[in-house]
Amino acid sequence: MHLLVTGGAGFIGSNFVHTTVTERPDVVVTVLDSLTYAGNSASLDPVLDKIDFVHGDIADLDLVDELVSSVDAVVHFAAESHNDNSIADPWPFLQTNIVGTYSLLQAVRRHDVRYHHISTDEVYGDLELDDPQRFSESTAYNPSSPYSATKASSDMLVRAWTRSFGVRSTISNCSNNYGPYQHVEKFIPRQITNLIDGVRPRLYGAGKNVRDWIHVDDHNSAVWAILERGEIGQTYLIGADGELDNRSVVEMILEAFGREPDDFDFVSDRAGHDLRYAIDSSLLRSELGWSPKFGDFRSGLGSTVEWYRANEDWWRPRKAATEQAYVDQGEVEQ
Ligand code: NAD
Ligand code: DAU
């Protein structure tokens, strides 16, 4: 099998490429990535001799058409992925997440190539803290941020291309990922690298927002299950029953550094901040026999802390600019 992996120099995509190359040596991998501020070619260094890397934009119709013409399947990770950035400047999210997906869909349609679309639970909006319901495949779309609205738009394009043009697609909507190679703008790496730098973690609002954490390797094993055994036209929700509020996560990170549980600062809240995400992944588990391997968040988090301690060369060049962007976006202590 020859796979085109878009966004393979990003967090989830690079982890996907690492495990694919290790566990499936028969799969030929081509990565297409434009190396935005979020892409890092160093994330692919461990596998560079085993893949083809193409530096380019998913919205480049001619380039995408040429690459898709010679593969068996596309796994589409590439996106503008950070909510705070989408609030500061939505345009790149429309261009990459909507126009870029359009470009890939036209190519897989023309060449009749299998397509898997990586999406997010944020397309469903948010839940009250005490709501007994979780998101499922039948939950209505209700995105809150420019980021999640563009991801919802891209999902809708996939559904339309599948119904109208017979594209052989599947979609997965996953909850919050953690693990190695995640950009320091995101919640967990930001707090870990702050603590390495002697800076107190920063919690938005009251720290009560809940996210449903899953290790990135569990996300990617689910993607492979869907790619190999998923029903064409089906959406699958991916989650590992990992609901935790942000304050609890910060307290666990502080514990890993031997610090007091209240050694953090509250800062200004995110505009439109979704309160809670929660995934019901029963369909994926019952239909495809998938289950997560990283049951224990605390130990997965501990390994992630160790990874950032051991790989300062990877994240250090991006840290100062990331913190400056938060200052420029108006983040202040409460
Ligand atoms: P990321 O920001 O770490 O990586 C995105 C990658 O896409 C980068 O390498 C970047 O250079 C590349 N890219 C961006 N625009 C591009 C373009 N126009 N052309 C080619 N490449 C481009 O993102 P991530 O966290 O790894 O997320 C990957 C996918 O998973 C996204 O589609 C995201 O919506 C989805 N997702 C993420 C999470 C999460 O918790 N991070 C959860 C569910 C779904
Ligand atoms: O749910 C899946 C989504 O998870 C993905 O689609 C997105 O691509 C990914 O970025 C992530 O979105 P979130 O907005 O949930 O992730 P983020 O890491 O930005 O924030 C996680 C939570 O932590 C959120 O409630 C905001 C809060 N937060 C974030 C930062 C950066 C803080 O309290 N302090 C911070 O410094």
Distance CA 192, CA 128 (A): 28
Tell me if 210 sits within 8 A of 275, measured CB to CB: yes
pTM for the complete prediction?
A: 0.99
pLDDT reading at 59 higher than 90:
yes
Percent of the chain with pLDDT over 70: 100
Residue 121 CA: nearest ligand 2 atom is: 1
Model confidence pLDDT, tens digit, residues 7-38: 999 999 999 999 999 999 999 999 999 999 99
Mean pLDDT of 57-63: 98
Q: What is the mean pLDDT of the chain?
A: 98
pLDDT reading at 140 higher than 90:
yes
Mean pLDDT of 40-57: 98
Q: Which of 187, 192, 270 gets mutated to test ligand 2 (max ligand atoms within 8 A of its CB)?
A: 187
* Parallel, antiparallel or unpaired: strands 169-174 and 114-120: parallel
pLDDT reading at 111 higher than 90:
yes
Told to judge if 243 belongs to the known catalytic residues of this protein, a careful annotator would answer no
Q: What pLDDT is recorded for position 295? A: 78
Please tell me if the CB atom of residue 277 comes closer than 6 angstroms to any atom of ligand 2.
yes
Model confidence pLDDT, tens digit, residues 278-316: 999 999 999 999 999 997 999 999 999 999 999 999 999
Mean pLDDT of 55-82: 98
Q: Which of 33, 57, 122, 218 is catalytic?
A: 122
Which one is predicted more confidently, 90 or 295? 90
CATH architecture of the domain with residue range 2-178+215-238: 3-Layer(aba) Sandwich (3.40)
Between the CA of 224 and the centroid of ligand 2 the distance, in Å, is 25
Please tell me if the CB atom of residue 100 comes closer than 6 angstroms to any atom of ligand 1.
yes
> What are the phi and psi torsion angles at 318 (to 5°)?
-105, -5
Does the model's ipTM exceed the 0.90 cut?
A: yes
Please tell me if the CB atom of residue 75 comes closer than 6 angstroms to any atom of ligand 1.
no
Ligand nearest to the CA of 189: 2
Lookup result for tokens 């919205």: 59
Q: In what order do the strands lie in the sheet with 73-76?
A: 52-55, 28-33, 2-6, 73-76, 114-120, 169-174, 235-238
All structural domains of the chain with their residue ranges: 2-178+215-238
